[in-house]
Amino acid sequence: MSAQGDVASRSWELSESVVVEAPPDQVYAAISDVRRMREWSPECVGVLVYRGRKGPRPSFIGFNRNGARRWFTFCRVTVSDAPGEFAFRVSVAGLPIATWGFRLTPARSDPAGADSESTHVTQYWRDLRRGGRGRAADLLGAAIAGTSPQERVRVNRSGMITTLGRLKRSLEAVPEAE
């Protein structure tokens, strides 16, 4: 099988969801602070936001690991729609890799019309590796991150489940009383 794999059976999009017992604006504030991604993601070990680009659509470098393998990605926020959606596009060496994002919706409404106390969080991933540049990105991914396109789908799904679980625990944690 080529590095591109069987394109007909390749997964190009994934999503996983969780309900977080926190209001959407609080969840959005956490996920839109891209420096916090290392707290939740099993692959991201750090984020460097470009100086002067800290507004609602910052550009940043994501530092990642898979076992002993280490690499970095260039990321640009593409959707910053508080408190509904946050997404960023990932590239390596000028090659488009993926879009990662979060969609937030109130999980339940207070009958009195007050703000929701919980949020349905859906994390999604779209593979952007298409055509000749996509094949180059696949080869680069296999060499640097150590995963084939098909393995990347499995790794990403597992990572999304871990990320959402850690996000939930982080935002639902009750601070200790002093």
pLDDT tens readout for residues 24-51 = 999 999 999 999 999 999 999 999 998 7
Round to whole Å and give the CA distance between 66 and 60: 20
**Cβ pair 142, 3 in contact under 8 A:** yes
Q: Is the pLDDT of residue 2 over 60?
A: no
Confidence category of residue 110, pLDDT binned at 50, 70, 90: low
**Cβ pair 149, 4 in contact under 8 A:** yes
Round to whole Å and give the CA distance between 23 and 50: 29
Whole-prediction pTM: 0.86
Q: Is the dihedral of CA 64, 170, 31, 49 positive or negative?
A: negative
Task: Give the bridge partners for 53, in sequence order.
Answer: none
Type of residue found at 146:
G
∠ CA 31-120-28 to the nearest 5 degrees? Answer: 25
Q: Which two tokens stand for residue 44?
A: 């991201």
Confidence category of residue 134, pLDDT binned at 50, 70, 90: confident
Give the residue with greater pLDDT, 95 vs 177: 95
Backbone angles phi, psi at 89, to 5 degrees: -100, 140
Q: Is the pLDDT of residue 109 over 80?
A: no
Range list of β-strands (E), 12-141: 13-20, 44-49, 59-66, 69-81, 85-92, 95-106, 119-127
Q: What is the mean pLDDT of residues 154-161?
A: 95
Q: What is the mean pLDDT of residues 66-91?
A: 95
Q: Is the pLDDT of residue 55 over 90?
A: no
Confidence category of residue 4, pLDDT binned at 50, 70, 90: very low
Q: What is the mean pLDDT of residues 102-123?
A: 81
Question: To which residue do tokens 């530092």 refer?
Answer: 63
Q: Which two tokens stand for residue 111?
A: 């009958």
Confidence category of residue 100, pLDDT binned at 50, 70, 90: very high
What is residue 157's predicted lDDT score, i.e. its pLDDT? 95
